[in-house]
A and B are shown apart, each in its own frame.
Chain A
Amino acid sequence: AQKITQTQPGMFVQEKEAVTLDCTYDTSDPSYGLFWYKQPSSGEMIFLIYQGSYDQQNATEGRYSLNFQKARKSANLVISASQLGDSAMYFCAMRGSTGANNLFFGTGTRLTVIP
Chain B
Amino acid sequence: DGGITQSPKYLFRKEGQNVTLSCEQNLNHDAMYWYRQDPGQGLRLIYYSQIVNDFQKGDIAEGYSVSREKKESFPLTVTSAQKNPTAFYLCASTPPPGEVGQPQHFGDGTRLSIL
A residues sitting closer than 8 Å to B (CB atoms) are 4, 9, 31-33, 35, 37, 42-45, 47, 50, 52-53, 91, 93, 95-97, 100-103, 105-108
Contact = CB atoms under 8 A, between A and B. Distances in A.
Given A44-B108, A44-B109, A108-B42, A102 B103 contact: no
A41 to B, nearest CB: 12
Most buried by A among B31, B40, B50, B103: B103
A100 B108 contact: no
7 contacts: A44-B106, A47-B103, A52-B100, A102-B45, A102-B104, A103-B104, A105-B35
A44 B111 CA distance: 11
Contacts of B40: 9, 107-108
A102 B100 CA distance: 10
User: Which of under 10, 10 to 19, 20 to 34, or 35 or more describes the interface residues of B?
Assistant: 20 to 34
A77 B48 CA distance: 28
Contacts of A52: 100-101
B33 A102 contact: yes
